[in-house]
């Protein structure tokens, strides 16, 4: 057997044994396939565990990818779908596309790329379900491996969830990449329309299952497919860019559930296992993101938060934003004993993470204690700031979460807010009338001095003015974050 797809896991004797099993004993081959699936599932679980830490995530990703390659390879060979040559070509093409994407896509583009990945996963499950429909249509009922109603149910679920995931992820991609407005889009009767579409979908699913293999089944099936694609668009349309971390986590979960449904449809154990793992982990992450904003999932999906109508009074904050020059900021940082950097989406847009790390190193050499405050929903995807700072080689032990950073904020000399907005807005804890009231924030306002890097005086993605910018201990350092920090670094080097 050619062993292109796993050169390091099998010895030549094992390969010869697999060749013999495939040509002689069907039962032995089935056991070997199932054993391979178990190995792949173990690799999935182990890789998923390693993804929980930025330090071990690259290794976890490779282990999980190896498990998937093993599962796909053994499935295709077992079903005699592809020759070894075609399998090798597929591996080469996939690896090439992945390498080009990894090289071309900037770290700031990761949120929209993750959204695309989710969408492609959903579309793959939809196509599997669609293909299985055609397969069953030409098969006598007596030859089916599962009861027809069950097969039709899981096919409908694969198409429904996959379609919603695909178009919903495309909408998220368009919003995150700036191709359409990132604001929540709401219009009169929107919820009723969405409810009507969902109701028709449920009716179509029930009708499809009970119709069976009659001539009317296919039109109902195609209608279900189109309605699923429509609901994905309508579902993400009223969600603003500030809620994208939750949306991406939820779509990731849905892509896993679609894969699991497709696994049931084609009776593939490893696809069921992989789909359930992705679905469960994505759902857990969705819950974590919702808790980080102190909002329910229903509120995120249906409230239209961030739209023009729900952004709250934009002129309610009183006071004046006080600017600071680069030279004055140099003196503030030069005399500080403890500095906390609070990154946000503005740092990602400006691609300033490398200069932030350089400034941090300069301050450390000056005897200043440095750390980075990471809010769970800062940026546009879960872990967005962790990814950017890891890419800039910021030490992992300097990254701190909400609880430890807030506990030490009053002892912090300078809090440097780089493009963050809602996650440091004191209104979340001080103003019961604010739409973000109750949301856990980084208490930057409790630092002795707060420096906010910002392009101008606009509001954040939620549309709310940030009370922090008007506090007595806050100074605004205007300009593009990258050039502003570059000027500051130059000031330190020249002095």
Element (DSSP H or E) covering residue 38: helix 26-50
For residue 158, which phi and psi values (nearest 5 degrees)? -60, -40
Instruction: Return the exposure string of 57-73: e unless at least 16 CB atoms fall within 10 Å of the residue's CB, then b.
Output: beebeebbebbbbbbbb
Alpha-carbon distance 393 to 314, whole Å? 38
Answer yes or no: are the C-beta atoms of 41 and 270 closer than 8 Å: yes
For residue 79, which phi and psi values (nearest 5 degrees)? -85, 0
What are the contacts of 152-156 at 24+ separation with CB within 8 A? 152/208, 152/209, 152/212, 153/205, 153/209, 154/129, 154/261, 154/262, 154/264, 154/265, 155/129, 155/261, 155/265, 156/129, 156/205, 156/208, 156/209, 156/221, 156/224
Alpha-carbon distance 5 to 7, whole Å? 6
Task: Give, as one character, the DSSP assignment of residue 51.
Answer: T
Residue with tokens 């007595």: 472
Given 422, 430, 431, 480, the catalytic residue: 422
Alpha-carbon distance 256 to 125, whole Å? 9
Whether 78 sits among the annotated catalytic residues: the reply is: no
Alpha-carbon distance 332 to 414, whole Å? 8
Alpha-carbon distance 254 to 233, whole Å? 15
E strand residue ranges, 210-266: none
Answer yes or no: are the C-beta atoms of 9 and 35 closer than 8 Å: no
User: What residues act catalytically?
Assistant: 422
């Amino acid at each position: 057997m050619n062993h292109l797809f796993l050169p390091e896991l099998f010895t030549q004797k094992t390969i010869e044994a697999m060749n013999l099993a495939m040509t002689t004993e069907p039962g032995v081959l089935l056991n070997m396939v199932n054993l391979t699936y178990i190995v792949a599932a173990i690799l999935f679980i182990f890789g998923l565990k390693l993804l929980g830490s930025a330090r071990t995530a690259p290794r976890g990703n490779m282990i999980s990818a190896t498990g998937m390659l093993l599962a796909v390879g053994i499935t295709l060979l077992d079903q005699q779908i592809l020759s070894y040559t075609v399998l090798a070509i597929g591996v080469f093409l996939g690896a090439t596309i992945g390498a080009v994407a990894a090289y071309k896509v900037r770290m700031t583009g990761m949120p929209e790329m993750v959204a695309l990945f989710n969408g492609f996963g959903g579309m793959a499950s939809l196509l599997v379900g669609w293909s299985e429909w055609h397969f069953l249509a030409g098969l006598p009922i007596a030859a089916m491996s599962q009861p027809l109603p069950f097969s039709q149910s899981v096919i409908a679920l694969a198409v429904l969830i996959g379609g919603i995931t695909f178009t919903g992820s495309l909408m998220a991609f368009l919003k995150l990449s700036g191709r359409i407005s990132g604001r929540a889009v709401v219009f009169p009767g929107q919820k009723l329309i969405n409810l009507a579409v969902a109701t028709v979908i449920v009716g179509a699913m029930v009708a499809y299952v009970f119709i069976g293999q009659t001539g009317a089944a296919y039109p109902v099936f195609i209608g279900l497919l189109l309605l699923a694609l429509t609901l994905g668009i309508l579902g993400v349309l009223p969600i603003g860019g500030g809620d994208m971390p939750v949306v991406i986590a939820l779509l990731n979960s849905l892509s896993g559930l679609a894969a699991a449904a497709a696994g049931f449809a084609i009776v593939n154990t490893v696809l069921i296992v992989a789909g359930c793992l992705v679905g469960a982990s994505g759902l857990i992450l969705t819950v974590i993101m919702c808790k980080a904003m102190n909002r329910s999932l229903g509120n995120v999906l249906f409230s239209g938060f961030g739209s023009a109508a729900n952004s709250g009074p934009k002129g309610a904050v009183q006071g004046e934003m006080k600017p600071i020059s680069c030279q004055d900021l140099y003196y503030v940082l030069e005399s500080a004993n403890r500095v906390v950097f609070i990154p946000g989406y503005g740092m990602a847009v400006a691609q300033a993470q490398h200069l932030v790390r350089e400034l941090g190193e300069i301050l450390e050499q000056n005897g200043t204690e440095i750390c980075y405050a990471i809010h769970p929903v800062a940026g546009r995807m879960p872990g967005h700031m962790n990814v950017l700072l890891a890419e800039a080689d910021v030490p992992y032990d300097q990254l701190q979460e909400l609880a430890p950073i807030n506990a030490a904020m009053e002892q912090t000399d300078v809090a440097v807010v780089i493009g963050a907005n809602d996650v440091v807005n004191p209104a979340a804890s001080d103003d019961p009338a604010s739409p973000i009231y109750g949301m856990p924030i980084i208490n930057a306002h409790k630092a002795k001095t707060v420096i906010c890097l910002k392009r101008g005086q606009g509001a954040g993605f939620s549309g709310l003015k940030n009370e922090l910018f008007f506090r007595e201990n806050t100074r605004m350092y205007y300009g593009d974050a990258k050039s502003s920090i570059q000027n500051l670094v130059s000031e330190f080097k020249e002095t």
